[in-house]
Structure 1
């Protein structure tokens, strides 16, 4: 076995890793027939999967052509040499391999790691004792919300749980926080779905509630005892000062005596007590004003002794308080966990994050796991992309499968990654795995890896490459862990490509107390865009990268207000689309929320621009009647329809989708998903919408001339001509809302061998392992921050604009704690920093030659309706039936007549139609006479009667699909000898649109080969009025 069967590629940003992966893949795929079936390529995003598949197929296609395209010549030459074949042989093999793949596409295994593990679990569900038809759950928010809701509902029936929840609420009030515990339970509950916490929570599940409650009492007792000891020592220290003969004024600012007095008065907050130089002064003996002598050395030693003793106790108390604060949420966490498991079991659901846990449990302690024995027969070659983002569990599960392949003849493993781009630690990514493997440390295989560095940056122009090389080599000195330092020292020696030039700008905003800093960033971004635009670059050439969605949303709003076209995560949200919001408002109105605000929103959407005020004022008190009269839309009708059918009915009547609309199509997809899971109730859908509306977004459209705004995390793996990076001032050390598991002595903590702590800077003063863990976490934070910065600064091809902030000239703190500090320090060491200077340019962005825009007409797709009148059962809730309201009665009357007419082919069908709506509860006995009279007036009308006889073949509400893909539905067409009469029923006032609708129907029927005899609009009001079109 040759060592080259295990290769690791260190692939810095832009170094052509996809090219390398495709080359290695094709070397195997082209070596023998059908060998591609034995290859498994794993990456982390669907976009990366599609890119690799496309590159493989396009390359094979290009290679098979008689005339090889220029873009594929380099790869073709490389493969000829490495496979030792002639051009003709490679051309022939490529054609055959392409054919094999296309004919056996299911065996073309390029997959995300989640899909691969899902496939394993689905295949071996029976062996793993899982439901055969389980549903994988990606979004766990709703699952957690329901579990928490169930836990809170148990309050009152479960005495122990009730007591805990009440105590928790009271503790929050004591801490001046809201008594509402839902937020805290949701925050702690999220740990259930994070791989980093899985191992710890398994131990937690073994503890019951009484054990937690007992530990709570023990810790509270320890805190109380410590507080008494602290107060005693502080009181003794105060008395020492009083007995010394010194006056309080002998101490500078009375700091030392006040320190002990505060503690004696029960102030135990370390951030208040230890944010000064008291300890330093005590150690040096400088505790008194100049000229005042110490009473004795013993006096100083005693005060120092009490100071240190109290400080140790204060931090120990803080440590115990930290544990105590998290103990109640931790207690409830085990209850939430049980509810989550119950919901999963009830619905046959498995969250995706559990896939790795399930496999891990099955293969643990088995030398040859049965799952991999069976799979191992298939796969002999493994490609893992973005290895730095692989979690410990994912890698652990792959090791047996890969080991099996490497042990067999011809097996191979190719790992590609870059630890400098490891930015997913929060979801289990572990950069150390790649660092260790590349150093041949903790290698789980017998084979030694061959490590290859991809040296050339093919993405960026030379100025950007050189800037980043120098910048990140320098910043490596800011990392406190040597392994991380080496990563940036050795990993930033990229060679440039043939693209010379490029541009980098560091722009420092000067803070202004009168203007919000965010606004200053927005203004600077706009100024930068205008400058770039003046060099003839399109909006679509520019991408703005931000750390989080909040800043992105603010920036998007600002730029939109300045008429700059943008595509952002917010602009892609369904809730940002006016049509979608209108449809949601209609559903809300239909479910009983018939307030003026909703009516206003509905009318605001429908109102003509020039007469909006009068339009809304005229119709707001009579909305339902207006909708029925103007659009033949009945709020009452959707009360008996599912959410999906209600939306399609509204889309049709308001003509919201004259062409395919991505937002509406996605809304309908979401609706179907909700109906499948929760049923067709509109209220169920609205509940889902209210919880998920801030996450439901369409895919980003391509080739639109608009600036893209995206997070740095989403930009990973992508490249853009020009990048603007505003708000480049993020803190490096952000411990807020982070939790850490700390080992403890089980004898001191009632059998618990680890506890959960909130991360705080004071952890460095804590006892046990907490301080060490905090230091390790801080080092990893430094790497996280540097890696995010690296990803942001390596996306640009031609130009990179960084917008940061200038530290106040009054600030004496030179400690580097955020990105702006890093940029400033970099310029200082290059001797470029000038306090009065804000802009630092490296290189130059060349202007483009202005091109004449070519109008590319694209064919507009039509929206495909799927609505059908489905059999349904409903309870009578219509206002027109429940009380005497003329408007409600008229609207209900018109809708019912329209519906009954759709059930009538000939006049003889009327009794059966009436009987059906009566049984359905759509009408009452009292309404039968008036309804029957009205319908008879129509079907027996002297100018209509023949169309309701068996002389004609009549079709009611049948869909017509036009040649343009448009779906039409006339109320009735009556056919005789290829001649058609079109009949459409309307209520309310005449409207020119009614005629236009009939002309549209007629055109479609003529196109189908029919001759139009008549087009009739039947207005159903107090009297029946016909209009022949």
Structure 2
């Protein structure tokens, strides 16, 4: 049953029931959801309608916040505004006075009993279920849920690889690396760690999507080799039986070279290895028994080969799962995806946790938002409760839009919603048998966001013959309903739409003109709208960063939702570089980056960028550039650098940053960056509480290890800046003006791993398009993946075109006439808004920092810097000595001079030589550098231990019965002994022999 009329009066509601609001873009999804909730709590005709009986589920924290705010605001409006009461009375059967009193009552009730006001994410609901059922699910009662699954896998991967010390472990790594660079995609991979982590994270996501474990293929290399030999022999026999047929050039070469694999891959389903343009070939192969037999064997061969290819990946992943399970138990941690899967698998086996019995008695009414973004695992958790509700006097209310399903890469499955919508009486995803009407579907046709020009453009685009042809050619069917997106605009004002195409094949300057046109449009809009009214949408984060750069060059304030990570801001990069220099004054690169940056050039008026470049060019041969800078620019060094430099070893990083900000007047010079700077200070303050937080090197390590969420700035929606974000980020949002930049990628990424569920297990395949001609299963897997990708691309396009309220601009950079963006055509319609001259003035909140003396008793930092450099010199020299003989060699003398020059400590070299010689002659230590007594010596070797941390003992020596390790010190410090003890504990875990420090 379908209807466009919504909401419906409580008089018409029959219980139990299930409603699906198929809500297109701009049709008031959150508004309808909030009204539905209010109808439930305020009406006297709805059974079991206490706060505790209603569960409202969303999929993001932001959506939860928005929904809860909307519900509370609606209650306030009902109490204070007659207009809102009149609207509510159309679907709630109460008198005006009674409705007002009830609204006040429920406002008090919500604030008094806020935990009973359950509006939350599906993730938070899963965590609650898990915490209550921990013992039943075999979890520790004190477990901690890790919400960032990828971060946890990233942390554990290096530890896992370090733990593989068995023969099987080494073989698993070798086999993995052997095929890593054969799998295609990124070219030669020099550092496989990132690739291993990405694969593990992807496997983990897919197992949780399908609620199945990845199965290791039973096909072995010998099986493949056997069938390959058979096919090769049969191809040769086929060739010998038809000497009159002309061979293609490539097979002829492969036969001559006995290149079996290449010959097999060249075999054509129609023409075998022969020239198909010759009529005789087709006649000879028609109904040819040998040809048919080879094709049959190739079907098996390609399926075996596709499955077997990723076996080394799966073997390594299985070992990783064992390791990670143990580590997570030790940490008493569980990832959110894993938690969801544990519950889903238990329910799939019809082993329903006890808590469900209590919850089914408690929750009678379910409201589920963004239903198209539900994953199979999430729905399997909710389904038993939903079915129980409609088997009594409860109800279900789903709201979503399959046209906006753009999160398939996060395991979302729009097919759950589309199948229920299609089979609204006998759905395979929910038992609707208790409901006489089945699932009642509402399809509102009003659009409250966009003006007529925009809704007409969207309708015409998706109903055009060009779009229909593209759909048939690439997908074959309209899976999400894009062909039926006609809406009636509620807004009556004028609007404007313009689409401009730039084709690189027709004009070599197309890309240049694309960006020039963008600049022209944004300049015009800046005169007619407030910056906060404008949004620029792009496909990729990299494009968002480029657009932000362009806006900054035009002096247009930009808030990039794709670069809210403070570490991506140029100003923060400059501060990090300055800290890196203070940590190691011989770091010329970071020192140069800072003095060439905006912080330095704006604060030091006398130091122009040209002067700095000239200085760096003249000092290019010099080591320790800061010392030459100090001599050349004495007043600048004294005014800006000296105090910071002296105090850098004594202040915490937070205090040091405050000093830098005050000295260089960063708040005054960069008012538009206040938010990012304050967030950076906040990060420094938070990290202050961690181990060794006052150390600059520790801070530099920790700031890089922060997750993107931890290092990102929260941006309020009303900030006076042009918003720049990806199409995905823009979903659910609306803006007065939208500029869509459709930038076609030169090379779209290929799908490297194909996943297929056989109902019981999840299998991995490597599929080439050519394999699909021979094997139907591979063809289906390949085509299904291609369709899923295309559906997501088309839905993303729909989302982009439906964000604008008044003016919409589409700029399309087209490089291929067969790709999606080639559907765009030059177009304009409507009237632009006139310039009223009433723009909001940008006012930055003044932020200041104390500029008074900070720890003024700290005066003499310079000698300490020289002491640190001297220590670096001695360590670098000792790192070049494995045995005594090395010290007396000519090569060591040359290396030593270069090392001393690097630290500008040539005068210290004779003294260093004398001390090293004394050490090597000392009988207490000399045997540690003697060949024969020392079986192996390792200098400055990196050791990865718990939590991915790294330690680097100066020297480890293996003798016949013992392991010695040495750490060189040139000064005295209280915590040196603690460091030695820590190193000893770490090394004991690696070497089985007795350890001496």
Query: TM-score scaled to structure 2, two decimals?
Result: 0.72
Hey, what's the Cα distance between the residues in 1 that align with 2:545 and 2:869? Answer: 48
Q: 1:44 aligns with which of 45, 59, 71?
A: 59
| Structure 1, 693-702 or 327-336: larger mean CA deviation | 693-702
Q: Secondary structure at the match of 2:488?
A: coil
For residues 203 and 737 of structure 1, the distance between their equivalents in structure 2, rounded to whole angstroms, comes to 16
* Residue 109 (structure 1) aligned with residue 118 (structure 2): yes
Q: How far apart in 1 are the matches of 2:313 and 2:98?
A: 67
- Give me the whole-angstrom Cα distance separating, in 2, the residues matched to 1:358 and 1:868: 54
* Matched positions, count: 821
What is the CA–CA distance in structure 2 between the aligned matches of 1:278 and 1:123, rounded to whole Å?
64
Other-structure match for 1:820: 821
Query: What does 1:830-909 correspond to in 2, within 5 Å?
Result: 839-841=826-828, 843-853=829-839, 855=841, 860=846, 878-879=864-865
Asked whether the equivalents of residues 564 and 712 of structure 2 are also in contact (C-alpha less than 8 Å), the reply is yes
CA shift at 1:884, angstroms?
8.7
Task: Return 384-393 or 192-201, whichever deviates more.
Answer: 192-201
Contact 1:509 1:804 in 2 (8 A): yes
Q: Deviation of residue 310 (structure 1)?
A: 5.0
- The residue that corresponds to 1:84 in the other structure is 93
Work out whether 1:287 is the aligned partner of 2:312. no
The answer to whether the Cα contact below 8 Å between 2:254 and 2:260 also exists between their aligned partners in 1 is yes
Give the match for residue 503 of structure 2.
510
Aligned to 2:541: 549
Q: Which fold has the larger relative contact order, with Cα–Cα distance below 8 Å and residues 6 or more apart in sequence? A: 2
C-alpha deviation, 1:189, in angstroms: 0.7
Matched, 1:525 2:515: no
Q: Which residue of 2 aligns with 1:30?
A: 42
Quote how far apart the aligned CAs of 1:275 are: 8.7
**Alignment correspondent of 1:393:** 377
Q: 1:756 maps to which residue?
A: 764
Distance 1:395 1:263, change over 3 A: farther
The one-character-per-residue Cα deviations of 1:709-732 (angstroms, maximum 9, x if unpaired) are 211111110111222222254699
- Identify the residue that residue 916 of structure 2 maps to in structure 1: none
Q: C-alpha separation between the residues in 1 aligned to 2:382 and 2:75?
A: 29
Counterpart contact for 2:755–2:762, Cα < 8 Å: no
1:566 aligns with 2:578: no
Q: Distance in 1 between matches of 2:696 and 2:334?
A: 26
C-alpha distance in structure 1 between counterparts of 2:745 and 2:753, whole Å:
17
Decide whether the 8 Å contact of 2:720 with 2:842 is kept in 1.
no
1:469 aligns with 2:455: no
* Offset, 1:201: 6.0
Partner Cα distance (2:142, 2:687) in 1: 18
Contact 2:375 2:412 (C-alpha < 8 Å) held by counterparts:
yes
Aligned with residue 726 of structure 2, among 689, 707, 711: 711
| Residue 400 of structure 2, aligned match among 417, 420, 425 | 417
Q: Match of 1:357?
A: 341
Structure 1 residues 57-80: Cα deviation after superposition (integer angstroms, max 9, x where no partner): 222222222x54xxxx2x422321
Match of 1:699 in 2: 714
Cα distance per residue 1:461-512 (max 9 Å; x no partner): 1122122223324445654699952742674232232425433333221215
Q: Rate the CA distance shift 1:760–1:456 in 2: closer, same or farther, 3 A.
A: farther
Superposition pairs of residues 62-81 of structure 1, within 5 angstroms: 62-65=77-80, 68=82, 73=83, 75-81=84-90
Larger CA deviation: 505-514 vs 482-491:
482-491
Where does 1:928-943 land on structure 2 (aligned, <5 Å)? none
TM-score, reference length from structure 1: 0.70
Going from structure 1 to structure 2, the CA distance change for 1:789 and 1:723 (only over 3 Å counts) comes to: same
Question: For 1:15, what is the secondary structure of its paired residue?
Answer: coil
- Aligned counterparts, 1:703-742, within 5 A: 703-727=718-742, 729=744, 735-741=750-756
Structure 1 counterpart of 2:229: 228
Partner of 1:982: none
Larger radius of gyration: 1
Task: State the alpha-carbon separation in 1 of the partners of residues 487 and 677 from structure 2.
Answer: 46
Shift of 1:384: 0.8
Q: Shift of the alpha carbon at 1:348?
A: 3.0
2:488 matched to which residue of 1?
495
Q: Distance in 1 between matches of 2:540 and 2:147?
A: 21
Separation of aligned partners in 2, 1:316 and 1:821? 39
2:644–2:659 Cα contact (<8 Å) kept: no
Q: Is the 8 A contact 2:205 2:411 kept in 1?
A: yes
Alignment equivalent of 2:74, drawn from 42, 59, 62: 59
Tell me the distance in 2 between the aligned counterparts of 1:121 and 1:715. Answer: 32
Residues of 2 paired with 1:516 and 1:692: CA distance? 41
RMSD, matched Cα: 4.4
Cα drift, residue 650 of structure 1: 5.1
Q: Kindly provide the CA deviation profile for residues 789-823 of structure 1, in whole angstroms up to 9, marking residues without a partner as x.
A: 11111111123222235577xx7xxxx5x213434
Shift in alpha-carbon separation, 1:172–1:27, aligned structure 2, 3 A:
closer
Give distance in 2, aligned partners of 1:521 and 1:634.
46
SS of the aligned residue for 2:309 comes to helix
Partner of 1:189: 200
Question: Contact 1:460–1:499 (CA<8 Å) still a contact in 2?
Answer: no
Q: Unpaired segments of 5 or more residues in structure 2?
A: 1-12, 617-624, 856-861, 872-902, 905-970, 977-997
Q: Does 1:329 align with 2:313?
A: yes
Summarize the alignment of residues 758-773 of structure 1 with structure 2, pairs less than 5 Å apart: 758-765=766-773, 767=775, 769-773=777-781
Asked if the contact 1:256–1:287 (Cα under 8 Å) also holds between the matched residues in 2, the reply is no
From the superposition, tell whether residues 478 and 88 of structure 1 become closer, same or farther in structure 2 (CA, over 3 Å).
same
Partner of 2:220: 219
**1:24–1:4 CA distance, 2 compared to 1 (3 A):** farther
**Counterparts of 1:219 and 1:723 in 2: how far apart (Å)?**
55
